[in-house]
Structure 1
Amino acid sequence: MSTITCKAAVAWGAGEALVMEEVEVDPPNSMEIRIKVVCTSLCRSDVTQWESKTAVPLFPRIFGHEASGIVESIGEGVTEFKEGDHVLTVFTGECMTCKHCSSGKSNMCQILGLERRGLMHSDQKTRFSVRGKPVYHYCAVSSFSEYTVVHTGCAVKISSTVPLEKICLLSCGVAAGLGAAWKVADINKGSSVVIFGLGTVGLSVAQGAKLRGASRIIGVDTNPQKYEKGKIFGVTDYINPNDCNEPVQQVIKRITDGGADFAFECIGDTGMITTALQSCCDVNLSLSLSL
């Protein structure tokens, strides 16, 4: 295997426009695969980290973590993938060997720890460079590149019949929302649900809640156009906080006869988490606080 030269959108500094560069992508190391990226979507997390509002700046960097593609080559020890496989990237990877993966109690794999430094798990180095200068990874994926290298724990094999231009959304937003409703909250039939933020994650929560049989799904968003889109995914009611004469949590408690059974904060606003908790019925609020 040899180094590949390809195009990638490189962020050279916080908030600076991305630059299309000729990037060198090294061969995959042990337990890694090199992927030809076919499609990638844009997540709000990419923008937040690019702006460097919540973390120590780490540049130059290649962002992007919601991607679908085809395995171009495999590293030593890789048995679950072969060249030509269609894959979906996963930024919350699992190496299956660190103490977190083996504990059975957490998915906070050590891959995530190294990712915060923009490095690969095997040797704590990058696989990207521009004119000899190392370029850091993002979310262990870096899909704003024609080719990328990821740990095998950060990819999932998918059917070759699945449309790659659509499946990439499952890498983060859809999986997070649907999984929160279906697996984490385990929404029961006939329950009431309130969702703060009707973006990709919020709409996926709505879809999951509908599939689980929720009787009322309330979407909260300041953009009224989101309601029409939300109806397709199962939203039954819509509240625009800007149109309310009282705190939105009071509105929700009033229209749900005491509060929603489940509340999901899908904006990424710490203050809104409190509002979401206060929108729940008293029994569920007590359980959430005790947990």
Structure 2
Amino acid sequence: MKTRAMVCHAPGTPLVEELLDLAPPGPGDVLIEIMASGLCHTDLSQIEGKAAPYPFPVVVGHEGAGIVREVGAAVTSVKVGDHVIPVGIGECGSCGNCRSGRTNLCEAFLGDIALQPSPFSLDGQPVSAYSGVGSLAQFIVTAERNVAVIRNDVPFHLACTAGCCVATGVGAVMHTAHVENGATVAVFGLGGIGLNVVQGARLAGAARIIGVDINPLRHEQGKRFGLTDFIDARTSDPVTAIQALTQGGVDYAFECAGNVRLMAQAFESTRIGWGCTVVLGVPPDGQAMELVPFQLQLGRRVQGSFMGNVKGRSELPGLLDHFAAGRLNLADLVTHRLPMSEVNAGFDLMRRGESLRTVVSF
């Protein structure tokens, strides 16, 4: 079959709408009609070639939500008509990692998903599906293990955010750092992921949630998600300010901008003895975080988190239960909605720092 899709043909070039060939679903695959897809900074990194694990041309997008239109003969957990989120990190449920209870990194994902065959092609040549999803397309095909069935009463333009920024931010608090009631938290970078760290910390009962950003608009926006303090990094040194606000440093710091300098600042803002820094942002290829090893000996630690350590099928749908119960704010997260034809304008909004989440509807 054919599908419309937004394709990036080369690093640094605008996306182009193409009519692609889409392979039919195999026995273990699912055909999904994408209804909405959020735009993420990692999509932009792929487009600009800064952190681009997928060969060009590529259909970007990995934060989609849609409806199942066809399932393969061997599919048992998904049926036609289900509302679903296609996830970049699947959950086979049977590999050692899935059974461990320690990680969301299914071994099928770790097997270099960028090299797996894509269902998209153009004029007989393969077109990559970013993160194994490629959700800036009207239709996609993916394996059953990559499909999370969700409740059907959440609008698609809100539900899609759970597929990346909500899972990454809220999950990092709940599943990676395990922030406890009364803790102090600092969040470096108040974009879509950072503000979900903020509301995850609020859900966990954190006593103080300090946001750090260079965009003053993020102060008022952050308050809607639970932010208690804001530091403008253009005019104040974040480490000094956080140490002063907390009399020695925060219990937890989260870096959400993919900036190695901020990663070091986040680490330095934590309390000696037990401070934990969680790295969520993805820096450009080749950049490294610098730390003084003695600070690790003093009890500070650094931990990474991929998609918030949220299991894609068994745990991700629960985030939308939190939304339905009024515990998560998704409405203020989606600041712009655009048609597919205006997706490049959505990435321009991101570059200028004018959006939290732009969602493309099909």
- TM-score normalised according to structure 2 size: 0.74
Q: Which has the larger radius of gyration?
A: 1
SS of equivalent to 2:81: coil
**Are 2:251 and 1:253 equivalent residues in the alignment?**
no
Indicate the SS of the match to 2:244. Answer: helix
Amino acid at match of 1:200: G
Question: What is the distance in 2 between the residues matched to 1:56 and 1:82?
Answer: 32
**How far did residue 100 of structure 1 move?**
3.4
Deviations 1:68-92 (A, max 9, x none): 0000111131100011111012111
Structure with the greater relative contact order (CA < 8 A, sep ≥ 6): 1 or 2?
A: 2
Aligned to 1:44: 41
**Which whole-Å CA distance do the structure 2 matches of 1:155 and 1:15 have between them?**
30
Q: Which moved more, 1:43-52 or 1:262-271?
A: 262-271
Structure 1 position 290, deviation (Å): 8.4
Check 1:203–1:65 CA distance in 2 against 1; reply closer, same or farther (3 A cut).
same
RMSD value, Cα? 1.7
Q: Which residue of 1 aligns with 2:252?
A: 262
TM-score, normalised relative to structure 1: 0.91
Aligned-partner Cα distance in 2 for 1:184–1:56: 24
Contact 2:59 2:135 (C-alpha < 8 Å) held by counterparts: yes
Provide the C-alpha distance between the structure 1 equivalents of 2:38 and 2:70, rounded to a whole number of angstroms.
23
The 8 Å contact of residues 14 and 57 in structure 1, kept in 2 or not, is answered as no
Please list the CA deviations of residues 259-286 of structure 1 after superposition, one character each: whole Å capped at 9, or x if unmatched: 1111111111223222111101112234
**Other-structure match for 2:79:** 82
* Counterparts of residues 137-156 of structure 1 (less than 5 Å): 137-156=129-148
Q: Contact 1:112–1:140 at 8 Å: present in 2 too?
A: no
In structure 2, the CA distance between the partners of 1:57 and 1:72, relative to structure 1 (3 Å rule), is closer
Query: For 2:231, which of 222, 231, 239 is the aligned residue?
Result: 239
Cα separation, partners in 2 of 1:128 and 1:157, compared to 1, 3 Å: same
Aligned to 2:161: 169
- Aligned residue in 2 for 1:14: 11
- Aligned to 2:36, what secondary structure does the other structure show? strand
Indicate yes or no: 2:176 matched with 1:184. Answer: yes
Matched residue count: 280
For 2:247, the aligned partner's letter is D
1:116 aligns with 2:100: no
**Counterpart code for 1:289:** R
Write the mapping of 1:186-201 to structure 2, written as runs, cut at 5 A: 186-201=178-193
- C-alpha contact 2:270 2:300 (8 A) present in aligned 1: no
1:17-39 CA distances to partner (integer Å, 9 max, x unpaired)?
A: 11111111111123211100000
Question: CA offsets, 1:146-175, max 9 Å, x none?
Answer: 000112121211122221111100000011
Q: What's the counterpart of residue 122 of structure 1?
A: none
Moved segments of 4+, more than 6 Å: none
Q: Does the CA-based 8 Å contact 1:111-1:140 persist in structure 2?
A: no
In 1, the alpha carbon distance for the partners of 2:197 and 2:227 equals 10
The residue identity in structure 2 corresponding to 1:148 is I
Aligned counterparts of 2:222 and 2:120: Cα–Cα separation in 1: 39
Which structure 1 residue ranges, 5 or more long, are not aligned?
Answer: 120-124
Distance 2:227 2:256 in 1: 14
Instruction: Identify if the C-alpha distance between structure 1 residues 60 and 271 changes in structure 2 by more than 3 Å, giving closer, same or farther.
Output: same
1:243 Cα offset (Å) = 0.6
Deviation at 1:54, TM superposition (A): 2.4
Q: Which residue of 1 aligns with 2:262?
A: 272
CA distance in structure 1 between the partners assigned to 2:67 and 2:128 by the alignment: 22
Q: Which moved further from structure 2: 96-105 or 276-285? A: 96-105
Shift of 1:99: 4.3
Question: 1:254 aligns to what SS in structure 2?
Answer: helix
Deviation, structure 1 residue 193: 0.8
Q: Is the 8 A contact 1:93 1:112 kept in 2?
A: no
Contact 2:267/2:302, CA 8 A, preserved across alignment: no
Contact preservation (8 Å) 1:115, 1:138: no
Per-residue deviation, 1:238:
0.4
The separation in 2 between residues aligned to 1:5 and 1:75, in whole angstroms, is 18
Match of 2:204 in 1: 212
Q: Distance in 1 between matches of 2:86 and 2:52?
A: 23
Q: Which runs of 5+ in 2 are unaligned?
A: 276-297, 304-362
Q: Does 1:289 align with 2:301?
A: yes
Question: Cα distance 1:227–1:83, how it changes in 2: closer, same or farther (>3 A)?
Answer: same
